[in-house]
Amino acid sequence: MPNTSARKHVLLIGTGGTIASEVTEGGLAPELTTEQLLAHIPAISSICAVDCVQLLNLDSTNITPGHWLQMAHCIQERYGQYDGFVLTHGTDTMAYTAAALSYLIQGSPKPVVLTGAQKPIGFDSTDSKTNLMDAFRCASEDLPGVSIVFNSKVIPGTRAKKTRSKSFQAFSSINYPYLGILRDGVLLRYIRQDCGKAPVFYDRLNTRVALLKLVPGMGREAADFLLERNDGLIIESFGVGGLPEFGGFYHCVDEAMSAGKTVVLTTQVENEGSDVGVYHVGHALKNKLGVLEAYDMTTEAVVAKLMWILGRTRDRKEVERLFYTPVAKDILWPVE
């Protein structure tokens, strides 16, 4: 049964990352266990009671969708025993993992918080300790759903993107406000995510999803290659969205969709989203071919959502319905 006392009980799940790294001859590599991380910040005991699980110890570059399923399963198995969950994770693919967990664990009334660091916890100039303390504070609060807590910001799992490679303010919330901020150890919550009485867990992803970033002058060959080997293709186009009128792209997409593939068009621009129907280069894609449009979603969320959807169905109408059905505020425009 969930803990009903004033003192919250939180599970720390370690997956590796910079936060748990030490200097080796081959560069920084995850070495520390969750217990060793906690030893650096004994003050956490004043926030909540903590149990530890060392699920993985990987550089986040090595994290795969199979690992996302492991994380979700770990939480599902222990969901009734804890008031909240903290996952330590490398920053490079944390936004993908946060998005994936948002689809694999839907409507959670309990916090599922991801955090990490730009500098290892053993370094003098580290952000690890602040981020961990903040993550445990949030995991002990009424903060439903999946979020990233980093640099004193609380970001919805479906809206996070790593926008800085080295500095402590690594993550931004794209096209959506922060859920809250932490100031002097206190969570100032702006938005409470929707949740149910209990979460809905999913245990299947279709990893046959590819991402293609357009560059000027590109022909259809790369798209053909990816579509042949995958069930879905996400195309990062330019500006509000469209495909080049030369190079056979239109026919490539037409043929793929006729063969039952799913094609999603998004934008390389971080903010404000796509609007495919504005220009001639995009209008026919949506209105004649039925290409899905990502609108204000992040690329990370589109990738994870399409894997989740295609793990459930290949029916075109159902894929479209699920894609445009908001999950954890992942898509607002044109839905809201």
CA 251 to chain centroid, in Å, comes to 32
From the candidates 15, 18, 91, 267, which is the catalytic residue? Answer: 18
DSSP code for 131: H
For 64-209, where are the alpha helices, taking DSSP H only? 65-78, 94-104, 128-139
Q: Degrees (nearest 5) of the Cα angle 108, 155, 143?
A: 35
CA dist 320 and 28 (Å) reads: 42
18 is catalytic: yes
CA dist 332 and 274 (Å) reads: 12
Strand pairing category for 111-115 and 180-183: unpaired
For residue 139, CA distances in Å to 53, 122, 123, 136, 186 come to 16, 23, 25, 5, 12
Three-state SS for 136?
A: helix
User: Backbone phi, then psi, for 122, in 5-degree steps?
Assistant: -85, -10
For residue 263, CA distances in Å to 11, 156, 227 come to 38, 25, 9
Q: Which of 109, 120, 103, 299 shows the shortest CA–CA distance to 204?
A: 103
User: Backbone phi, then psi, for 24, in 5-degree steps?
Assistant: -125, 175
Q: How many other CB atoms sit within 10 Å of the CB of residue 184? A: 6
Active site residues: 18
